Chains A and B, each alone.
Chain A
Amino acid sequence: MARAVEFVTRRRGASGSGRGWHWTDVFTWGWLIGGLFIMFAPAGWLALSSFKTPAALSEFPPTLLPYVTETVKIAGNDKPLPLYDVTLPDGKTARLVELRRVGIVAQMVDPASPETIVKVNIKDRKPVQKLHFETSNYTEPFVHFDFLRYLWNSVFVTVTATLITLLVNSMAAFALSKYQFRGQNAVLIVIVGTLMVPLAVIMVPLYSVVSSLGLLDTLWGVILPTVATPTGVFLLRQYMLTIPDELIDAARMDKASEWQIYWRIVLPLSAPALAVLAIFSVVWRWNDFLWPLIVLSRSSLYTLQVGLNVYSGQLNVQWHFILAMTVVTMIPVVLVFVFLQRFIARGIATSGLK
C-alpha cells in the first residue's frame, strides 16, 4: 500500500532536493485533484440529479444520490402513502405511514393496524428512503414532448453537415494542394482570412441570405451555412501537401481520371486528417446553438440544444426533464471524449483549431 502511494505520488526526478516534498509537489497534486473535482463533479452532479424525482429535486439540502421516500398502500386511500421512521414519545421507534399533516403535527398510522392514528411531531420522524433511479425523466420527454424529434433533428443536422463538410472541404483541399492555377493564393488568403469572420459578425445579413434562399425554418438552413468550413479546408490541405506528388503522377500514368485520383488515391491517404475533421465537425454541429436558434422557429425543427434552451427558459422549469435531456445531449460528446480524446488533443496541439 505504502509503495502504491509512493508510486502514485512520485515526484519529478532527481531535480528535487533529495527526498521529501517540495512545495511545488504539494501544489501540483492539490491542483490536479482539485481540477479533477471541478471538471467532472458538475457534470456528474447533473447526471445524478437527472435520476431524481421532482420531489427529490426540490429538496434542500439535496441528497447526493437519487432517493425516494418509500410508500405503502393503505386500505381506504387511493394513493400510496409515505413511510417514516418515527421516534415515539416513549423512546421506542416505529415505522409509520403519514395520513395527513396539520402544521407541525402529522397523523400517522401503523400499516399493520391502520385504525389507530398516532399524532407525531414532524421533528421526531425521518422518511424511509430507498435508492431509486427515476427513468421516466428520460422516457417521458421522448414520449410526451418533442425530444425524440429534437434528437432526430440534431442527429440529422450533425451527420449531414459532417458528410457534406468532408466532401466539399476535401475536394477544395485537393484542388489547393495538388494543382497549380492562377488565383490559388488569392483563394487561400480568402479562406484563411475568413477564419477570422465569426458568425456573430455576419449573422444579420446571413439571415437575410438564408431567408431569400427559402431556407428559413428548415434544417438545411442550419446545415448549409456551416459546411464550407475554412478550418477544414486548411487542415486537409496541409495534410494533403504531405502526400507525394509522385503518387498523383503515377496515377495519371495509370490512366486514372482526376476524379479517380481524388477519391481512390488522395481521399484514402488523407484518412487521418479526415477523421480529425469528422470528429471536430460532429462536435461542432452537435453543439451549435446560436445559428439554429436564429433559423429555426418551428418547434418541430428544433435541435436538442435549441429545445433544451427553450424548455429551460420557461417560467416553470421542469428540471427533472431538463436535466435528463441535458444528459442525453451530453452523451455523444462524452463518447467522443472517452474514445477519441487523445486524437483530438493531438489535433488541437498541432493545428490549434477548435
Chain B
Amino acid sequence: MKANGLLSASQSALMAVVVRLMGIVDVPLRTLQRKTGQSGMAAFFLAPNMAIFAVFVLVPFVINFVYSLTGGSAIFLSERSFVGAQQYSEIFACGNYLDPNSCKQDVFWIAAGNTASFVVLQVSLMIVAALITALILNREIIGRSFWRAVFFFPVLLSPVVTGLIWRWIFQRQGVLNAVMQSVGLEPHDWLTERNSAFFASIGVSIWAHVGFYTLILLAGLQAIPKDLYEAAQMDGTSRQRVFWRITLPLLMPNLIVVLVLALIKAVQIFDEAFVLTHGGPGTSTMYLVQYIYETGFASELRNPGLAAAASILMGAVLVVLTLAQMAASRRNEKKGAR
C-alpha cells in the first residue's frame, strides 16, 4: 500500500517535471507556429527523424556507390582515390567461373556460395518447421498461448547469447557429445569439422527464428474463417484435401511474406553464426556479411572500397528478392480479387 503510494507520488512528481518541461518547450514553439502557421509545424515534427535518417541511412546509402568506386584503406571519402569499376572487376576476376578457388577474391565467392547454400537450406527447413508448428498451434490444444510462447522464446534472445548457448552445447566436452556417448555413439567435433559446423549454423539459426515466422503463419491461419472448415466438413472433405485445397491457398499471402522475410534475413546471416564458429573451420561458415565486415574493418589489409562493392552486390540481391515479393503478393491479390 505504502509502496504504491510512494510509487504514484514519484510518478506524479516525474509527471510534473515532464509537464513543466513540455510547457517550457511550448513557448518557443508557439512563436515558431505563429511564423509557420499550423500546417508548417509538420516540417518541425518531421525534422529530427528525417535529419537523423538522412545522415545515417540515406547519405550512406548514396555514397556507398561512390565508395565502391574508390580504392585505398582511408576511411574518409575525400582521401580516397577514384579507381572506377576496379573493385568490381577485382571481385569478378576469376579463372574459371565455376570454381571459386580460381577467383582473385576467392573468399568472397566462397562466402557467397556458403550464403546461397545456407539460404536455401535454412529457409526451406525453417518454413516447413514454422508451418508445422503453426498448424499445430492452430488446433484446439490446451494452453495454446503457452505453447506459442514456447516457440517464441529464442526469438528475443540476442544472437550473441544464442551463439554462445549453442557453442557451449556443441563444444568437444559439451552436453551433446555426452548424450551421444551415453547412447553409444562416437563423440564428434561439431564446430571444428566443416560440414557439421555448417549444419550447426543452419540449425542454430532455425532455432533462433522459427518462432517469429510461426507467429505470422499462425495469425494467417487464425484469419481463415471457421465456417469454411465447417462447410468442408459438411461436404465430407478429407483432412488432407482440406489442407491442400483450403488451408494452404488461403495461407498463401502469409506464406509469401514469410518466405521473403526469411530470405532477406537469411542472406544477411552474421551474428549468431559469427559467435558460434567465427566463420570457421577455415571458411566453411564464412558468410557474406562476415566477408564484408572483415574486408571493411577487421582484416590487416582492409579495403573499404571492396567491402562497399560487395555490399552493393548483396544489396542488389535483396532488391531482387523484395521486388519478387511485391510481384508475388500483387499476383496473389489479383487472384483474390477474381
Q: Is B191 part of the binding interface, using a Cβ–Cβ cutoff of 8 Å?
A: no
Q: Is B71 part of the binding interface, using a Cβ–Cβ cutoff of 8 Å?
A: no
B164 touches A43 (CB 8 A): no
Q: Is B107 part of the binding interface, using a Cβ–Cβ cutoff of 8 Å?
A: no
B52 touches A175 (CB 8 A): no
Q: Complex formed: what's the CA distance from A187 to B167 in Å?
A: 44
Q: Complex formed: what's the CA distance from A323 to B33 in Å?
A: 55
Partner of A196, one of B155, B264, B314: B264
Q: Complex formed: what's the CA distance from A224 to B292 in Å?
A: 22
A204 touches B318 (CB 8 A): no
Return B10 CB to nearest CB of chain A, in Å: 18
Which residues of A191-237 have CB atoms within 8 Å of chain B's CB atoms? Answer: 191, 194, 196-198, 200-213, 224-225, 227-228, 230, 233
Contacts of A15 in B (CB 8 A): 233
Chain A interface extent, by class: 35 or more
Which residues of B251-281 have CB atoms within 8 Å of chain A's CB atoms? Answer: 257, 261, 264, 268, 270-271, 274-275, 278
- Name B's interface SS: helix
Most buried by A among B145, B165, B292: B165
Contacts A174-B45, A257-B30, A348-B216 given: A197-B57 contact, CB under 8 Å? yes
A337 touches B153 (CB 8 A): yes
B140 touches A12 (CB 8 A): yes
Contacts of A334 in B (CB 8 A): 156
Chain B interface extent, by class: 35 or more
A287 touches B50 (CB 8 A): no
B133 touches A349 (CB 8 A): no
Q: Which residue of B lies closest to A180 (CB)?
A: B39
Q: Is A93 part of the binding interface, using a Cβ–Cβ cutoff of 8 Å?
A: no
A336 touches B292 (CB 8 A): no
Q: Is B328 part of the binding interface, using a Cβ–Cβ cutoff of 8 Å?
A: no
Q: Is B161 part of the binding interface, using a Cβ–Cβ cutoff of 8 Å?
A: yes
Contacts of B218 in A (CB 8 A): 349
Most buried by A among B58, B160, B314: B160
A329 touches B215 (CB 8 A): no
Q: Which 7 A-B pairs have the closest CB atoms?
A: A287-B158, A61-B178, A172-B49, A349-B219, A179-B42, A175-B45, A225-B56
Q: Can you list 19 A-B pairs with a CB-CB distance of less than 8 A?
A: A32-B136, A39-B211, A43-B154, A59-B173, A61-B178, A168-B52, A196-B264, A196-B318, A200-B268, A201-B61, A204-B67, A206-B60, A208-B63, A209-B56, A258-B41, A293-B293, A323-B168, A326-B164, A349-B218
